Structure 1
Amino acid sequence: MLQQYKHILVPVDGSYEAELAYKKGVAVALRNNATLHLVHVVDTRAFQNISSFDTSMVEQVTETAKKTLDKYIEDAKTAGLQDIDYSIEYGAPKSVIAKDVPEKLNIDLIMIGATGLNAVERLLIGSVTEYVTRTASADVLVVRTDLDNNPATNPKKA
């Protein structure tokens, strides 16, 4: 019997790697007749060290994320996927993606983009992708290729 996923989570952060995960997530959700949940996590810790912190900064980040997520929803529906939604969460991305959202939404597959960090950044702050693959209770698929399964090369970095 083939594994069939019903609730797929794709974290998106505006990066090229996350967009690849989103595109593959749409394809997998269509094949599995599954619900696709997109999540964007606003890392509130990033704002803690700003002395002139005010809520308008968080509101700006949230509004930008909402526009991106609305476009993803529209594109997925155009591709034929109707069962898709999103949420914008606040907190530490690692735990929100690995634990909080999967538990709340009964996620059985997390599709996440390969890290965009270099080796030094991963050593110092740790990769969200690496943390999710180690600690999530759901299956995790790390997306490293484009829709044709060719190695992903970010056009912005090329």
Structure 2
Amino acid sequence: MTSRYKNILVAVDGSKNAEKAFLEAIELSKEHEAHLYIAYVVNEVEVTHSAYAYSKLLAEEQAHVEKVLLEKVKHAKEVGLREVTPLTQIGNVKRVLTKTIPEQYPIDLLIVGATGKGAIQRVTVGSTAAYVVNQAPCNVLVVK
């Protein structure tokens, strides 16, 4: 028996695996005629521990994120998806993906890349993908 996903969330961060996850999310959204949510979470740890002024760095990061999400939404719609929602959050990436967004939206599949941009943090804190697999309230697809 296969599930029929209606609301798919994909996390993007500019990494190679996140891009693969995004492409997989598009295909699954088309196949299931699902609403695609594209989340870009600005890691609050990286922003608050920067040598730059917090407000300046945050403004630059938000501009970058908005540009990335606009491109992702455009691509998704060009390949035929009708329902695409970009989501931008600032916070703990793991918590936002497994708690904050699923509490606000009826996500039934979460797609993440096996590794993201935070290689140093992955060594010290643990893999975001592993955390998501263990804590998400829905099915998770990890893309390599």
Answering whether residue 74 of structure 2 is matched by residue 99 of structure 1, we say no
Answering whether residue 66 of structure 2 is matched by residue 66 of structure 1, we say yes
Contact 1:11 1:39 in 2 (8 A): yes
1:11 aligned partner: 11
Structure 2 residues not aligned, in runs of 5+: none
- Look at both structures and tell me which one has the larger radius of gyration over its CA atoms: 1
Map 1:17-36 to 2 at 5 A.
17-36=17-36
Q: How far does residue 119 in structure 1 lie from its aligned partner after superposition?
A: 8.7
Number of residue equivalences: 144
1:49 aligned partner: 49
The letter of the residue matching 1:100 is T
Distance 1:64 1:4, change over 3 A: same
Q: How far does residue 116 in structure 1 lie from its aligned partner after superposition?
A: 4.3
Structure 1 residues not aligned, in runs of 5+: 145-158
TM-score normalised to structure 1 length: 0.84
Contact 1:18 1:113 in 2 (8 A): yes
1:130 aligned partner: 130
CA distance in 1, matches of 2:64, 2:122: 26
Q: How far does residue 106 in structure 1 lie from its aligned partner after superposition?
A: 1.1
Question: What is the RMSD computed on CA atoms of the aligned residues?
Answer: 1.9
Q: How far does residue 45 in structure 1 lie from its aligned partner after superposition?
A: 1.8
CA distance in 2, matches of 1:140, 1:40: 17
For residue 40 of structure 1, give the secondary structure of its aligned residue in structure 2.
Answer: strand
CA distance in 2, matches of 1:121, 1:91: 14
The letter of the residue matching 1:66 is E
1:155 aligned partner: none
Contact 1:8 1:110 in 2 (8 A): yes
CA distance in 2, matches of 1:39, 1:118: 16
Q: How far does residue 50 in structure 1 lie from its aligned partner after superposition?
A: 3.4
More RCO (CA 8 Å, sep 6+): 2
Structure 1 runs, 4 residues or longer, greater than 6 Å off: 117-120
The letter of the residue matching 2:133 is T
1:151 aligned partner: none
For residue 76 of structure 1, give the secondary structure of its aligned residue in structure 2.
Answer: helix
Q: How far does residue 12 in structure 1 lie from its aligned partner after superposition?
A: 0.4
CA distance in 2, matches of 1:83, 1:71: 15
Distance 1:119 1:113, change over 3 A: closer
For residue 26 of structure 1, give the secondary structure of its aligned residue in structure 2.
Answer: helix
